[in-house]
Amino acid sequence: MNLFEALRASHDLQRKLCRSLVRVKPGERDTVFIKLKIELEAHAASEERFLYVPLLMTNAGLSASRHALAEHHTIEELCDELSVPDKSTAAWLITARRLSDKVHHHLREEERKFFQLAGKLIADSDKAVLGKRYLKDLVEMRRHYAGAYKSVAVDRSGMLVSAGAAA
């Protein structure tokens, strides 16, 4: 799996979790939200380290990288806003929809613009190495962020699961 295929696999998971966040019953929002928050945090950290740091080192990649990092920050702030005990309110759902829209916009822009740019700026010989490092770091970061919650864990294959299903 090269760097871009690996990044897109997490994007697909983020889209799936966003869709279910705004559709599930209020009582199920907490677990879906925690999974989404962990995936967003873990992916952003690993993507910043293994895609945007190399891109930031090139003049042609500066502007795109800054834009993407600013969006990661906005997404983090929306997750903070949603991290409240009562997730059953109409106001919570409105913010959840804003998060979902923002995530969808961000992923689309990365896949259509920034990955294409990075594909030209990063040497082919580096793409496989960066992909491997990104994937290893992603699983470590999922474990790192999941450590703060009882309801979600990371299984042997490195995927997020509801706690109790990890064995």
From the CB of 14, what's the least distance to Fe ion, in Å? 8
Q: Are 54 and 126 in contact (CB under 8 A)?
A: yes
Nearer to Fe ion, 75 or 146 (CB): 75
What's the rounded Cα separation, in Å, for the pair 154 and 165? 9
**Residue partners of 148: CB distance under 8 A and separation at least 6:** none
- Read off φ and ψ for residue 160, nearest 5 degrees: -75, 135
Least distance (Å) between residue 150 CB and Fe ion: 27
Give the nearest distance from C-beta 43 to Fe ion in angstroms. 6
Which residues contact Fe ion (rule: CB under 5 A)? 47, 110
- Rounded Cα distance between 113 and 126, Å, is 20
- Is 41 or 110 the residue whose CB approaches Fe ion more closely? 110
Nearer to Fe ion, 87 or 106 (CB): 106
Q: Which is nearer to Fe ion, 96 or 138 (CB)?
A: 138
Distance of closest approach, residue 107 Cβ to Fe ion, in angstroms: 6
At 132, the amino acid letter reads: K
